[in-house]
Structure 1
Amino acid sequence: MAAKETLGYVSRTAAIVALRKEGLSSESIARRIGIDVKTVSALECSARRWHGKAPNFVRPSAGSFPVGVRERLRPHARARDISVDALIRRLIETVAFGNLVDAVLDDAEAAA
């Protein structure tokens, strides 16, 4: 499942972790994001479980990808009503967490 960009963070989990660091209660976080308090707790638990393995929620910089790549992604981002950066994050997260690298890249012989 792809991450849902939330409040400018790459995912709901990232938003919850950041808001918790700001000292907000579970109830406040739930209201701000528009989810149930139990969902806040579940996502927080998931973040703790993945600690050290999950992405650090850092946004890629605009210069991280060539302009040509960004331009080719623009219509796909527009169709999803998200930014190109958000689309890039979703693509990378989906490939990484879905263990799809080998399916996407045709370099199995070179990687072996």
Structure 2
Amino acid sequence: MGAPKPALGYPSRTAAVLGMRQQGLSTRQIANALGIKNKTVSALELGSSRPRREPAPSTMLGRTVVIPTDVLDALGPHAARRCISVNSLARLIVATVVDDNMIDAVLDDADTFADVEAAA
């Protein structure tokens, strides 16, 4: 699948189809506006409602981290509310903690390291 093709001010043809459909335009009107066939409009619309698969591990360009099942289960409701997978939520949490330099705040173990540094 190629990169999204911007169309009529929308970031992709799919976004354009969905946006014009919300405006009440017919399949034929949308097809004419985008310069595509009616069946392409239908395919883009149907494709937008399909659940997306997680990228294969090799495409994640990272190392494997094993997270206990009970932790993943606890993340389940939070992932569902965000309409993302549990694995995506776990990656998002870790990336956010690292990007916002919140590791010490999250772990709240600064006193332990202060004692070690003082002893050295």
What TM-score do you get using the length of structure 1 for normalisation? Answer: 0.48
Greater RCO (Cα-Cα under 8 Å, separation 6 or more)? 1
Larger Rg: 2
What TM-score do you get using the length of structure 2 for normalisation? Answer: 0.45
